[in-house]
């Protein structure tokens, strides 16, 4: 589950020019900046941080100021020129007013004492909560999902198969420490295509054609004589278009994960004439690991599967423009936020961002995360996101 609401410690508080009632806050161990009410926090204070695309419960008293404006979704915004990517509220205004029926009742911080102890808070040793503690459920916060085009929900066969990880890359601002963990590693960078996630797998003969959360019942060309399936069967249309049936049968035990892009999907920001796939991962179910970059590249080349555009790779595969590992200025958040900017090739549309991964698929000891991250284009978040 996504951690949409967490306890974080205020690192710095800075003034915002020409803003008498606002200040800019940063957080220890995170890369987000957040506009807060002047005087609400001082450095070292704990806060409840709601990340981008948090959907706050409209009935919660601490979310009323957003509900009155018509939406409790947290988005990237600018206030007096200051970039705010999230929402920070004092503990006493949030934790003590839990709308979740499973949370302890009451309107004071002390009333959720037991729930907070379960998250790791030890009042005998300090006055602060465990930094990073997940309070998403306690506060009844949900993850905002972009509306799916009419009919694209399809006819579910069942839930997304448990043998394959869902596609959801962690944002760099949430884990800036990963840069140090990846230092010296060979990396590759790909464009983050703005579409809808698709997974195609065959494991011991069991076929699953999936959206982000569901496996879809089968569609065949015979079901639509004119060859134009309902939009929710675009997953199956892609399955036939790229001859994934024969590919998966020849490679039983893998999951091919791709972004589906094109007309009728997220505004078709890639400017395509028809719906296509852009493969970004292959998961080996039996080995419980992702393909290394070279193996992913070779697999897509062998089976003529289009990959997400590769901007850079330190291995030399695919027309690399450099041959150095992650080092130097690449160890800063600012470098990647600047690198994330740009347009989708052949269009005037801002790209959503980039994804950075180690060429050797791996997990890291220093952070509980795959050795990868996404850096989103702030211009896209501010102006283009629905």
Helices assigned H by DSSP within the chain: 64-67, 91-94, 113-118, 178-181, 234-241, 244-250, 293-302, 333-339, 378-383
pLDDT of 102 reads: 43
pLDDT at residue 149, as a whole number: 52
Contact 214, 156 (CB under 8 A): yes
DSSP helix/strand/coil, 91: helix
What are the E-state strand segments in 99-211? 142-143, 156-159, 187-192, 196-203, 206-210
Q: What is the C-alpha separation between 330 and 324, in angstroms, rounded?
A: 11
**pLDDT tens, the chain, 386 aa long:** 578 999 898 999 999 888 889 999 999 888 888 999 999 999 988 899 999 889 999 988 889 999 999 899 998 888 878 888 899 998 878 875 444 444 444 433 444 555 566 666 555 554 455 677 888 888 889 988 776 554 455 566 788 888 898 877 888 998 898 999 899 999 999 999 999 999 999 998 899 998 888 888 776 555 554 555 454 578 888 999 999 999 999 999 999 999 999 998 889 999 999 999 999 999 999 888 899 999 999 999 999 999 999 998 766 555 444 446 888 999 999 999 999 999 999 999 999 999 999 999 988 766 666 889 999 998 888 875 55
Q: Which of 13, 1, 83 is closest to 47 using CA atoms?
A: 13
As its CATH architecture, domain 5-143 has Beta Barrel (2.40)
Q: Give me the helices (H) in 90-216, please.
A: 91-94, 113-118, 178-181
Question: Rounded to an integer, what distance in angstroms lies between the CA atom of residue 109 and that of residue 289?
Answer: 42
Position 372 scores a pLDDT of: 92
Classify domain 156-383 at the CATH topology level: D-amino Acid Aminotransferase; Chain A, domain 1 (3.30.470)
Q: Is the dihedral of CA 356, 360, 363, 367 positive or negative?
A: negative
Q: What is the three-class DSSP state of 197?
A: strand
What residue spans in the chain does CATH classification 2.40.50 cover?
5-143
The gap between the terminal CA atoms of the chain, to the nearest Å, is 22
Give the pLDDT score at 151: 46
13: Cα separation from own chain's centroid: 27
DSSP element (H, E) containing 255:
strand 254-261
CB 351 within 8 A of CB 377: yes
The pLDDT of residue 315: 60
Domain with CATH 3.30.470.30 in the chain: 156-383
Kindly report whether the global pTM for this prediction surpasses the value 0.95. Answer: no
For residue 97, the model assigns a pLDDT of 47
pLDDT score of 175: 86
């Amino acid at each position: 589950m996504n951690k949409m609401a967490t306890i974080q410690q205020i690192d710095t508080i800075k003034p915002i020019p020409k803003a008498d009632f606002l200040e800019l806050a940063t957080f220890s161990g995170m890369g987000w900046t957040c506009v807060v009410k002047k005087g609400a926090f001082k450095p070292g204070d704990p806060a409840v941080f709601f990340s981008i695309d948090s959907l706050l419960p409209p009935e919660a008293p601490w979310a009323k100021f957003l509900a009155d404006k018509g939406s409790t979704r947290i988005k990237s915004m600018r206030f007096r020129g200051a970039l705010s990517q999230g929402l920070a509220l004092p503990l006493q205004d949030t934790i003590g007013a839990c709308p979740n029926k499973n949370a302890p009742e009451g309107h004071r911080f002390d009333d959720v004492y037991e729930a907070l102890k379960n998250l790791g808070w030890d009042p005998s040793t300090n006055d602060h909560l465990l930094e990073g503690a997940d309070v998403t459920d306690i506060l009844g916060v949900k993850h905002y999902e972009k509306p799916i085009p009419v009919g694209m929900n399809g006819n579910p066969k069942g839930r997304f198969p448990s043998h394959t990880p869902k596609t959801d890359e962690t944002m760099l601002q949430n884990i800036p420490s990963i840069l140090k963990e990846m230092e010296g590693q060979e990396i590759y960078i790909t464009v983050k295509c703005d579409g809808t996630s698709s997974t195609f797998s065959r494991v011991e003969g069991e076929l699953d054609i999936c959206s982000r959360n569901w496996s879809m019942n089968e569609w065949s060309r015979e079901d639509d004589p004119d060859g134009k399936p309902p939009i929710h069967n675009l997953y199956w249309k892609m399955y036939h278009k790229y001859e994934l049936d024969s590919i998966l049968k020849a490679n039983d035990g893998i999951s091919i994960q791709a972004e589906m892009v094109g007309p009728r999907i997220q505004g078709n920001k890639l400017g395509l004439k028809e719906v296509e796939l852009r493969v970004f991962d292959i998961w080996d179910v039996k080995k419980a690991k992702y393909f290394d970059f070279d193996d992913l590249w070779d697999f897509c080349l062998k089976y003529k599967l289009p990959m997400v555009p590769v901007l850079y790779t330190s291995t030399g595969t695919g027309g690399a423009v450099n041959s150095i590992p992650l080092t130097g200025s690449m160890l800063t958040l600012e470098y990647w936020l600047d690198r994330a900017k740009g347009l989708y090739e052949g269009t005037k549309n801002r790209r959503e961002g980039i994804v950075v991964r180690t060429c050797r698929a791996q997990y890291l000891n220093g952070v509980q995360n795959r050795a990868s991250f996404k850096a989103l284009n702030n211009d896209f978040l501010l102006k283009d996101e629905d």
